[in-house]
Amino acid sequence: MTIDIKQNFEWDSQLSSKNLVAANFWAPWCPYCSIFMPVFEAVALEYSQIRFVKVNVDELPDIASRYGIKGIPVVKFFCEGKEIAEVGGYYTKESFKNEVEKIFKDTPYYLASLHSVQISSRTANIISE
């Protein structure tokens, strides 16, 4: 199942999840987006433990801008509000599923890496004071 994000508060709610979130940034005028959308929706049905959301960049340009979306389609992956990975362009169902599986398996590593960078930054600030 996929969720259409229509407002900023919906985005914020989805992004704060402890679950992995796959966000498909797209636009109705984009032919590659139209071709990729059924792939995104089909793969979403196979991963109940991942939230698959769709963000129309024309309707929510501030969200697209916040995450530096320059080309579409692009799927960004978030966990605990942090961006951990992205895949861009058109993928076949099998190749997109392989990417999702790899990111899903590596999510704990990505999070640990992000947390250690935050801790290192704080430690550096404390040492320099």
* Structure confidence by residue, pLDDT tens digits, 44-78: 999 999 999 999 999 999 999 999 999 999 999 99
Pairing of strands 50-56, 2-5: parallel
What number is the average pLDDT over the span 1-19?
88
pLDDT at 42: 97
pLDDT of residue 10 exceeding 50: yes
Q: Is 79 a catalytic residue?
A: no
Catalytic residue among 3, 27, 30, 37: 30
Of 2-6, 14-18, 63-67, 84-88, minimum mean pLDDT range: 14-18
- Residue, of 60 and 118, whose pLDDT is higher: 60
Catalytic residue among 15, 23, 33, 57: 33
Distance CA 51, CA 45 (A): 10
Among residues 101, 28, 128, 123, the alpha carbon closest in space to that of 87 is found at 101
pLDDT of residue 125 exceeding 60: no
pLDDT at 99: 95
Name all contacts of 55-60 with Cβ < 8 Å and 24+ positions apart. Answer: 55/5, 55/11, 55/23, 55/24, 55/25, 55/26, 56/4, 56/5, 56/26, 56/27, 56/28, 57/25, 57/26, 57/27, 58/27, 58/28, 58/29, 59/6, 60/5, 60/6, 60/7, 60/8, 60/11
Q: Is 30 a catalytic residue?
A: yes
pLDDT of residue 38 exceeding 60: yes
CATH topology of domain 2-128: Glutaredoxin (3.40.30)
pLDDT of residue 111 exceeding 70: no
Domain boundaries, the chain: 2-128
pLDDT at 60: 96
